[in-house]
């Protein structure tokens, strides 16, 4: 649906996750990202009662010689696996390229880290724009009571690495506490720079 040389507009309704004509919808269920959650017993427990849909998204990827901008709309549903909130898989960019996120609905956090394990956390709420420099891995977490919906825009030729996150995790976990969401230290985290050779993968 992405025409690089023809202007167009589409309607996005944050209250209702809809996939426009010509875009492809992707679904990430718990079985697709078991290793991303910290509590493996909770993962198995949830899987026994059903393969939860954690998040879904559609994207319009730039194609052709003009190599314009690509974008996606993601909807992370509400829920936890153990105490850990539903979240995206998270990835590093292998090739240079920054990204912009614009939150359309819901409440959440963006977790970021460098390959040396430096960590940052950004609030995600409607109207908030989050800027992701090329060297920072990023993951989005839904800490609210409704879907977290956001737009992401990126430039040409960005490849992503999800496998290193599956191995190393993030320095922070976002868990449900008695007083609400808590960001705690991930005890099993190891800095990606110490995790060995990266595996290049395609996907969200």
Compute the least distance from the CB of residue 50 to Fe ion, in Å: 29
From 32-40, 94-102, 110-118, 166-174, give the range in contact with Fe ion by CB under 5 A.
Answer: 94-102
- How many residues touch Fe ion (CB under 5 A)? 1
Compute the least distance from the CB of residue 92 to Fe ion, in Å: 8
DSSP for 53-102 reads EEEEEEEE---STT---EEEEEEEPS-EETTEEPB---BEESSS--EEEE
Instruction: Output the CA torsion sign for 159, 163, 169, 171.
Output: negative
Are the beta carbons of 113 and 166 closer than 8 angstroms? no
How far does Cα 186 stand from its chain's mean position? 18
Compute the least distance from the CB of residue 93 to Fe ion, in Å: 6
Compute the least distance from the CB of residue 44 to Fe ion, in Å: 29
From 7-15, 57-65, 91-99, 192-200, give the range in contact with Fe ion by CB under 5 A.
Answer: 91-99
Tell the burial category of 19 from Cβ atoms under 10 Å away from its Cβ (0-12, 13-18, 19+). middle
Q: Which is nearer to Fe ion, 37 or 101 (CB)?
A: 101
From 15-23, 50-58, 93-101, 105-113, give the range in contact with Fe ion by CB under 5 A.
Answer: 93-101
Q: Length of the chain in residues, anyone?
A: 204
Q: Which is nearer to Fe ion, 97 or 117 (CB)?
A: 97
Distance CA 123, CA 103 (A): 10
Distance CA 82, CA 98 (A): 32
From 7-15, 40-48, 97-105, 120-128, give the range in contact with Fe ion by CB under 5 A.
Answer: 97-105
Compute the least distance from the CB of residue 70 to Fe ion, in Å: 10
Positions in the binding site for Fe ion (CB under 5 A): 99
């Amino acid at each position: 649906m992405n025409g690089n040389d023809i202007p167009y507009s589409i309607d996005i309704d944050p209250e209702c996750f809809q996939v426009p004509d010509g875009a492809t919808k992707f679904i990430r269920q718990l079985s697709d990202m078991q290793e991303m959650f910290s509590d493996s017993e909770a993962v198995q427990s949830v899987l026994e009662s059903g393969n939860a849909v954690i998040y879904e998204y559609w994207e319009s990827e730039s194609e052709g010689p003009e190599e314009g901008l690509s974008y996606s709309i993601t909807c992370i549903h509400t829920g936890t696996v153990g105490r850990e909130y539903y979240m995206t898989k998270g990835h590093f960019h292998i090739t240079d390229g920054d990204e912009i996120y614009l939150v359309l609905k819901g409440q959440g956090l963006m977790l970021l880290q460098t390959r040396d394990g430096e960590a940052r956390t950004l609030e995600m709420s409607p109207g908030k724009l989050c800027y992701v420099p090329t060297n920072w891995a990023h993951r989005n977490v839904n800490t609210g009571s409704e879907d977290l919906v956001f737009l992401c825009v990126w430039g040409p030729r960005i490849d992503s690495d999800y496998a290193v996150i599956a191995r190393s995790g993030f320095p922070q976990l976002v868990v449900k506490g008695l007083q609400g969401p808590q960001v705690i230290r991930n005890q099993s985290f190891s800095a990606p720079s110490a995790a060995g050779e990266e595996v290049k993968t395609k996907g969200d």
